Structure 1
Amino acid sequence: MAPLLVTMILASCSSVPLTKSGTLKSYDQLGSVEGVLSKSRSFADSQVLLAAKTVSISPTRLSPQVYTKLRDEKNGELVANVLDRTLCIDLSDKFRVVSPEKGADLNIQAVITDIVPTQKVAAGVSEAVTLGSSVVLPVGVPRLPIGLGGLAVEAEAIDSNGTQRAAIIWSRGANSITNSPRISEIGDAYGLASSFSDQFAQLLSKGKKPQGLNLSIPSPQKLSSRLGGTPKYSACTAFGKGTGLAGAFGNLLGAPPSWTDKSAGL
């Protein structure tokens, strides 16, 4: 049953190439390509990562290519911000998060290297079909496998001496089974940004590549922060608060992320 489900998901995925974009200090230590839904190559200096106590997060940048893909520059900034916010919340379980100007054992910098825009018309039709079917069926039908978006990111953790201690290049396309349609050009990229942050946070916190799905129960601070509570560390407030129930309802109804995510500075 599981292999069949994976096959179905892969058959309904959009494709986002895993490429080197030149934003990392080095690509030399990256491992081979891994993953099924998400594709990635990564490197982790386990000894240094496990010994680190503090981290800082520099705001995620957008590559020039991303700006050519989006009609609204603010949409790209929204994707970058939710990536940073999720990463900050996730890392707060293990590390003390400080602002970049205060210095830390590790500084994290991510660059969104590509966004495949979601086709809003296709997303709208899919949402209408899904909501309509839920009225007469016990479960909604899968999303139409057209107009799906995607995301590609590169990120690294640099120590106080400027040495790369962890790095990853990552890409993932949305699929019609696990990714709900949102009527926005960043409808899929916005959700996938959190998926990237979860994976990179595991790499940094555990000092090694994540193995399979993360089925652990979220910590109280993580759950509270994602539901819109005050983050554990003040440095995380730079990325705004989690969207909470408003975000969940917005996702359910297919609303653009900008309707529910009122991030700081955006």
Structure 2
Amino acid sequence: MRPLRSAGYAGLLAMAGSMCGCAPAPLVQGVGLSSYDAMVPSNGVLTKSRINVNKEHVLAARTVKIFPTTFPSNIAPKLTNPQRELVANSVDRGLCVSLSDRFKVVAPDEPADLIVRASVTQATETDELAAGISAATSIGMNFVDMAIPVPTPRIPIGMGNLSMEAEAVDPMGQQQASMLWARGANAFFSSPRVSKASDAYELADAFGEDFGYLLVKGESPFSSSGIDLPSAQKINSAMGLSPKYATCERYGRYPGLAGVVGSQLGLPPEWTDSGAKQAAR
């Protein structure tokens, strides 16, 4: 039976490979940034982006504060308000943890060298039925007797995407860094979860990390040729432990093991992520 099962699985991989593996992600400019001038393309393998950064000024900054990410109600209208809040909070938490690598993150009512604000400019909802079938297939394959473990590709139908914009300004309101960013869910690397908000939620954290990198390094997160290992504080935060700065607690902690298990089972992120603390937003 093993050769037959392996052959069948190889066929599934071939079918998935012949289809589009990524959700299309338009790079959508909003109206929330103080300036869109001097932004240049800086695309990654999976990500479209345009960036601008005053490297000297950004690297000289030592403190940063984060204003709550906005998610306009006319974008992805099928999402509920709690789902919008969860996605926006995922951006803020990703930013806070990533920025903690070099900056001291202070509360929004405290003075800071840089002020960060971000906004969702476009998003599409995840197809819950397709995600559910993908999750069930992935779980089922874990019980198939195979010689080697092979990841199960997600059904490339109804995958969500996310477009963001963000900037960092100094206390005088002068823009020192900005980014337009867009990415779609990927059939091989995005977790299928039974929630309309699941892909936007996962991509929101990725954006937070990318914009955080722009400010921590003063350069595009997509131009680095080396491999950046995560810092100890990032690893601790990902495990659901306390963040480096107490200010980041306002965004709640990462779900840790519960989030990993929930992702493997296809559970909605609303079930595993408690979101922001009430006083945070």
TM range (shorter): over 0.9
Identity of aligned residues (%): 43
Q: TM-score, normalised by structure 1?
A: 0.92
Instruction: Pick one of 110, 118, 136 that aligns with 2:118.
Output: 110
The 1:214/1:24 distance shift into structure 2, 3 A limit, reads farther
Secondary structure of the equivalent of 2:91? helix
**Which residue does the alignment assign to 1:259?**
271
Q: Output the CA distance in 1 between the equivalents of 2:153 and 2:225.
A: 22
**Which residue does the alignment assign to 1:5?**
none
Quick check: 1:150–1:192 contact (8 Å CA) kept in 2? yes
Instruction: Pick one of 40, 43, 57 that aligns with 1:31.
Output: 40
Report whether the alignment pairs 1:57 with 2:66: yes
The 1:28/1:9 distance shift into structure 2, 3 A limit, reads farther
Instruction: Pick one of 161, 173, 176 that aligns with 2:184.
Output: 173
**Cα deviation, residue 114, structure 1:** 1.5
Gapped regions of structure 1 (runs ≥ 5): 1-7
What amino acid is aligned across from residue 93 of structure 1 in structure 2? D
Report whether the alignment pairs 1:45 with 2:36: no
Q: Output the CA distance in 1 between the equivalents of 2:230 and 2:43.
A: 25
Structure with more of its chain in helix, by fraction: 1
Secondary structure of the equivalent of 1:110? strand
Secondary structure of the equivalent of 2:41? coil
**Cα deviation, residue 9, structure 1:** 9.9
What amino acid is aligned across from residue 190 of structure 2 in structure 1? N
The 1:129/1:238 distance shift into structure 2, 3 A limit, reads same
1:147-189, CA deviations, whole angstroms, 9 ceiling, x for partnerless residues? 1011111000010010000000001110111111010001111
Instruction: Pick one of 98, 102, 110 that aligns with 1:94.
Output: 102
| Number of equivalences | 258
**Cα deviation, residue 230, structure 1:** 1.4
**Which residue does the alignment assign to 1:21?**
30
**Cα deviation, residue 226, structure 1:** 1.8
**Which residue does the alignment assign to 2:229?**
217
Instruction: Pick one of 194, 197, 201 that aligns with 2:212.
Output: 201
What amino acid is aligned across from residue 110 of structure 1 in structure 2? A
The 1:172/1:207 distance shift into structure 2, 3 A limit, reads same
Quick check: 1:75–1:186 contact (8 Å CA) kept in 2? yes
1:97-149, CA deviations, whole angstroms, 9 ceiling, x for partnerless residues? 00111110000000011221000001001111111112114324211110101
Quick check: 1:134–1:140 contact (8 Å CA) kept in 2? no
1:46-65, CA deviations, whole angstroms, 9 ceiling, x for partnerless residues? 00000000000011011243
Q: Cα RMSD (Å) of the superposition?
A: 1.7
Quick check: 1:9–1:175 contact (8 Å CA) kept in 2? no
| Segment of structure 1 superposing worse, 192-201 or 208-217 | 208-217
**Which residue does the alignment assign to 1:228?**
240
Q: TM-score, normalised by structure 2?
A: 0.87
- Runs (4 or more) in structure 1 with deviation over 6 Å come to none
**Which residue does the alignment assign to 2:13?**
none
The 1:10/1:218 distance shift into structure 2, 3 A limit, reads farther
What amino acid is aligned across from residue 242 of structure 1 in structure 2? Y
Secondary structure of the equivalent of 1:222? helix
**Cα deviation, residue 212, structure 1:** 4.7
Gapped regions of structure 2 (runs ≥ 5): 1-16
| Segment of structure 1 superposing worse, 224-233 or 171-180 | 224-233
- For the pair shown, which has the larger CA radius of gyration, 1 or 2? 2
Report whether the alignment pairs 1:150 with 2:158: no
Secondary structure of the equivalent of 1:101? coil
Quick check: 2:28–2:121 contact (8 Å CA) kept in 1? no
**Cα deviation, residue 214, structure 1:** 6.9
**Which residue does the alignment assign to 1:127?**
135
Quick check: 1:69–1:115 contact (8 Å CA) kept in 2? no
Alignment of 1:65-80 (within 5 A): 65-66=74-75, 68-80=76-88
